[in-house]
Amino acid sequence: MNNRRQKYLTSSRKYDVPLYCAGWVEPPSAQETGAETQDAAKTEKEEGNDDIGYVVLGGGGGDRRNGVRNSLVLARYDPSTDTLSESIYRLSTDDDPPYRLTVHPNRHEIMCSFSNSCRLFDLVQDGEIKIIPSDKELDKLENIGEQNRIVFSVDGRKFAAGGEDGHLRVFEWPSLELLLDRSDAHKSIKDLDFSLDGAFLASTGDNSSCKIWDLATSSLVTSLSSKEVFSG
């Protein structure tokens, strides 16, 4: 019992904010960030830490006047010891906490959903690993309301956002060319997921229905209601 409790205590942390979202991130490679990063990577490998992972967490308390910061937090996880570090970097998000986030599979980009818009952040390494606001324009993701689910496709070429208002949007990434725009996809969207080849998107709503969308034709393929019965 003591060993289990010790493992729990090392692999869990509190970061002084309510946490709403999380994602695994990979730091930029040595080829992308130059000699300084190469030296750091070499040191970690020599110390046996080449399997160390990084996790980004988002949360906060809303209005900063209540004393709870809104921020993105970066921490390090060592699977060999089941140890989650204290915060190694923290970025303030002003008066708006990030409620959802998704990490691009290969571009070191972190997309976050806030109360009324989506914002993009970059993971960079300049002596230390940092999270910084991206300079990419996201006009089509501004003032779209709260998003219950945001997700990149497996290959990173598509991005989908599903709103509390039931509005479903799917974009090419990074061009943000709109592939699917359905304001009546659901009464409220609860979850989204791309097929492995990125050709289809599954969406679920608050009435337990599931819909499958063909992104090549921007059309609904099929819909399964909560009354469907499956037998195996």
Q: Which are the contacts of 47, defined by CB distance < 8 A and separation ≥ 6?
A: none
Nearest-angstrom CA–CA distance, 132 and 53:
19
Element (H, E) at 54: strand 53-59
> CB of 148 within 8 A of CB of 169?
no
* Rg for the chain, CA atoms, rounded: 20
pLDDT at 93: 94
| CATH number for domain 1-134, candidates 3.10.129.10, 3.40.50.620, 2.130.10.10, 2.60.40.60 | 2.130.10.10
pLDDT at 40: 44
| CATH number for domain 137-225, candidates 2.60.40.640, 2.40.50.200, 2.40.10.480, 3.40.640.10 | 2.40.10.480
Tell how far CA 164 is from the center of its chain: 17
> CB of 81 within 8 A of CB of 47?
no
Residue 89 carries which side chain, given as an amino acid letter?
Y
Please report where in the chains the tokens 């689910």 appear, as a residue. Answer: 149
Domain ranges of the chain: 1-134, 137-225
Residue 68: DSSP 8-state: P
Q: What is the pLDDT along the chain (232 residues), one digit of tens a residue?
A: 455 555 555 678 889 889 999 999 998 864 454 444 444 444 444 444 557 799 999 999 877 666 788 999 999 999 888 899 999 999 999 989 999 999 999 999 999 999 999 999 999 998 889 999 999 999 999 999 999 999 999 999 999 999 999 999 999 999 999 999 999 999 999 999 999 999 999 999 988 789 999 999 999 999 987 665 444 4
